Amino acid sequence: MNETRLRAAGILAGSDIFRTASLLLYATLLFHTMLLVYAKHLSLTPIGMGTVVLLLTLLTISFIRYFWLSTAILLSEKFLLAEVLVATCSIAVLAAQSTIPALPIPWLIAIAGVFPLVLRHRIAILCIAALTLIGYRLNVYLGATAGDWLPDLFATICIGWLSLLLAKTLNINRIALSKARTNERRFNAIARVTRHIFIITDADYRIKFANPALQEVIGYSYEEILRNAIKPILHPDDEEEHKEKLRHLRDTPHSTIFSRHRTRHKDGHWVWLETRGYNMLHDSAINGLVFSIEDITLRKDVELKLQEETAMLRAVLDLNPSMIYVKDSDGRFTISNQVFQRRFGYSSEDELRGKTVYDICLKMANGNDELSPREIADEIQQQDQQVMQTGIPLQDMEAPGFWHNDMHLWFHTSKYPLRDARNNIIGILGVTRDITKRKTTEIQIEYQAMHDMLTDLPNRRYLVNRLATAMETSRQQQSSLTMLFCDLDFFKSVNDTHGHDFGDQCLLEISKRIVAVLPETDFVARFGGNEFVILTNSSLAESSIKAKAIARAVSERLIFDNVAVKIQISIGIAQLSPDHQVPADLIREADAAMYQAKERGRNRTEIYDAALQIKSTKHARMDVALRFALERNELSVAYQPKVSLVDGRVRGFELLLRWNSPEYGMISPNEFIPIAETSGMVVPIGMWAMEQACRQLAAWQASYPAMGDITVAVNVSMRQLLHTSFFTQVREILDSSGVVPRTIELELTETSAMANPLQTIENLALLKNLGLRLALDDFGTGYSSLAYLQKLPIDILKIDKTFVHGLGTKQSDREIIRLMMALAQTLNLQTVAEGVETSAHVHELQKMGCDLGQGFIFSPPLSAEEAETLICSSHQFPLG
């Protein structure tokens, strides 16, 4: 196989010569034999005829061997030895035929010259010896004189030996050439893959060789440079120096150069190159200048950045008001900032470098000091040794000055171990600052650190400290300890809508309300942002009563600068148990209960129990299941009628989603819609609901032309509204379904609309241009600004059921609805009341001029078939 590859590479091997020589040998021998028989009219004996047949066979084998290289068996050593034997015997037989006057020696010489080309050295020597012996015996047998055969015997030996030498020479040449080509391929491979540029030029700097990295670094390929005679453009700052080095390299035999310079890239930017040149004009194999060039642009950028960072760090170090210094393992100063230098009377870092703390103490000492310079230095040195030996920093050490003149000053010191790349400690870093002012106002600072600046309530740090003490006291006295974790609902929208100053006013007022409804023995803290925590020695039942009182106080209307808002609160309650080891345990459970309250609709109180974890797990599993609900056809829709409060006729429907999960059964939208909002599945689910509504309504409009402008309302979340493709998808659904656009209503909750009012106005305007009707749902439960509300392109105002349920029982709810009706009439908006369940509700809403009602007094949510029955029969609900 190796010889085959070598032949393909143009290398002549011994086997190649052998195949040709053996073919010619057998052809010549056979031709000679046949010529003698023909010319002398000789007759062959049967043995002679057999010999001729053997020669024909050998000729055929050599012919096959010559033209078919895959016949490796014909070149195997065993076969070749058998072939030598057959050929020798054939010659001997032919020579023994008295009728054929042919001497055997020339043919034996030929065999001795051919077969050693492919036989191993020792076997070839044995073959040559055997052929010499056979030739001698045949000549003696044929009666030839010594003068006739002796020279031929020497010729046999010489020719055989020369054949051996030829085979050995060919083999050596083959190996050498193979190694040369291997080395050449390796060099080419290295030159191709390396990121360094390798260039060989002549004495005039004309390129003779360049690897592909040239184009990667400067943008020009080797061919471009040769074809267009492109010369490198050097940076003006580097040009003269680099050219001088090139001249030195060319003119100085065996010389080398090193250069860093910039050259222009093909696209115009400068590239930093690091060049090493070697004068090899004396080497006949190269006869040129050899250059190894590395692109160091990134390195130079890093070096420049490092220099800039070093300068910046030096500036930060020197401008830092603290005294900063570094000592080595021997306690000698190596780095210090200007504050430290001035503090001890040194003018520069170099002046201080190498000195020890003993030198400084001697310099600063005077006769009035309580401690001697050595005692002061020993104490400081002991601290340094402790840090370096243990590897543990000494932090927040506060102490007055050591010297008499500094006794009235206080200093804060921290010392840190410095480590090298192998994590060995090689010194310390010290940071000392003057904290005299802080000490003089320590009480004030401590108070501020433990209290909230806005509400003046204890903050989180104070809470944790107080809770740790309260937990220990509660266990010692075997009393109950309960935590209420409170979080204001949707408070971010208040800040976003009215500004943070307005939000701060709300927080201040709410904190006062919370404190006012609780006894003085309860501990109230602002945990952070819009979160408040109450610690009370009350039972769970008593804590629940307090939570309700807090919720009532917080929910009362807040009015600042003629802006009224109504804020609600979610509260989580957790009681101290033996499982609580640290304050964070109780805080975590109260916080978890609070989030459970938010997940259940907000504006409520939840008590922590072990089932919270199970519910959280169920929430996660439902999240996964909801992602497959659409493709598994688990979602369905229902239609709840919207009834005119004037004549009782159906004026529209609200589309409501239903999820029938194989794992959890029928799931309320109040449970799975928040999950869909969190996971983002509300977008595809919402578009599916939109498509269902449009297709169903289009089918009804086609079947019942007399139905008029009966509408179907679809709820839209803010996540849907802000989605980039929402407008396009709605337009495509309207076009594909053929529904009349004005009969489709999109309902957006007030809270969602106010989350990003400017974006909401812009997006709703686009939907309005499609002909859709727009409704503001759950009005009165959020924090609408009238300035934004009048800009929303809405058609319908939906009154939340929480206010409708209070009709007849709560005068405040009646007044709120009356104000909403007045607002709707002012803005020329249609009104829809949700949650209408009694005749009293209907009567009150009629008196206030509400247009439509929706609730169980009229009908629960219906299937599409049931809703169609109402449409086709022009059903009229009784209003009495």
| pLDDT tens sequence across 156-188 | 777 778 878 877 877 777 777 778 777 777 777
> What are the angstrom distances between the C-alpha of 590 and each of 365, 526, 548?
58, 14, 16
pLDDT of residue 168: 80
Mean per-residue pLDDT for 24-40?
A: 75
Q: What is residue 8's predicted lDDT score, i.e. its pLDDT? A: 38
pLDDT of 752 above 90: no
**What's the DSSP call for residue 851?**
-
For the segment 565-588, the average pLDDT, to the nearest whole number, is 91
Contacts of 482 (CB under 8 A, 6+ apart): 535, 536, 537, 538, 539, 540, 542, 543, 573, 574, 575, 576
Residues 79, 59: Cα–Cα separation, whole Å? 15
pTM over 0.85: no
How buried is residue 808: exposed, middle or buried, by Cβ count under 10 Å (0-12/13-18/19+)?
middle
Position 691 scores a pLDDT of 93
Looking up tokens 């309902």, which residue turns up? 747
Element spanning 410, H or E: strand 410-419
Q: Is the pLDDT of residue 536 over 90?
A: yes
Q: Which pLDDT band holds residue 5 (cuts at 50, 70, 90)?
A: very low
| Average pLDDT of the residues in 50-58 | 80
Top-confidence residue, 540 or 48: 540
Task: Kindly indicate the confidence band of residue 745, based on its pLDDT and cuts at 50, 70 and 90.
Answer: very high
Alpha-carbon gap, residue 262 to 233, rounded angstroms: 9
DSSP secondary-structure letter at 117? G
Separation between Cα atoms, residue 285 and residue 176, nearest integer Å: 17
Q: How many residues does the chain have?
A: 880
How many Å apart are CA 431 and CA 320, to the nearest integer? Answer: 10
Query: 705 is written with which tokens?
Result: 């032309």
**In which element (H, E) is residue 424 found?**
none
Place 4 in a pLDDT band, splitting at 50, 70 and 90: very low
719 vs 743, residue with greater confidence: 743
The C-alpha atoms of residue 212 and residue 505 are separated, in whole angstroms, by 70
Structure-derived torsion over alpha carbons of residues 543, 549, 550, 555, reported in degrees to the nearest 10:
150
What angle do the packed helices 757-769 and 726-737 form, to 10 degrees? 20
* C-alpha neighbours within 13 Å on the C-beta side of residue 673: 16
Return the closest-CA partner of residue 250 out of 197, 196, 201: 201
Residue 154: is its pLDDT beyond 70?
A: yes
At residue 709's C-alpha, the angle toward residues 707 and 710, to 5°, is 70
- For the chain, give the mean pLDDT: 84
Asked whether residue 753 carries a pLDDT value surpassing 50, the answer given is yes
**H or E, element range at 481:** none
Mean pLDDT for 353-378 is: 83
- Residue 514's nearest CA partner among 568, 542, 554, 466 is 554
Q: What is the pLDDT of residue 266?
A: 87
pLDDT tens across 297-329, in order?
888 888 888 888 888 888 888 888 889 999 998
* Contacts with 322 (C-beta within 8 Å, 6 or more apart), sequence order: 337, 339, 431, 432, 433
- Look at residue 460 in the predicted model and tell me its pLDDT: 92
Q: Write down the pLDDT at residue 6.
A: 38
Mapping DSSP onto H, E and C, the string for 712-781 reads EEEECCHHHHCCCCHHHHHHHHHHHHCCCHHHEEEEEEHHHHHHCHHHHHHHHHHHHHCCCEEEEEEECC
pLDDT band at 807, cuts 50/70/90? confident
Per DSSP, 404 falls in state G
CB burial readout 507-543, b (16+ within 10 A) else e: bebbbebbbeebeeebbbbbbeebbbbbbbbbeeeeb
pLDDT interval class at 610 (50, 70, 90): low
10 has a pLDDT exceeding 50? no
pLDDT at 3: 42
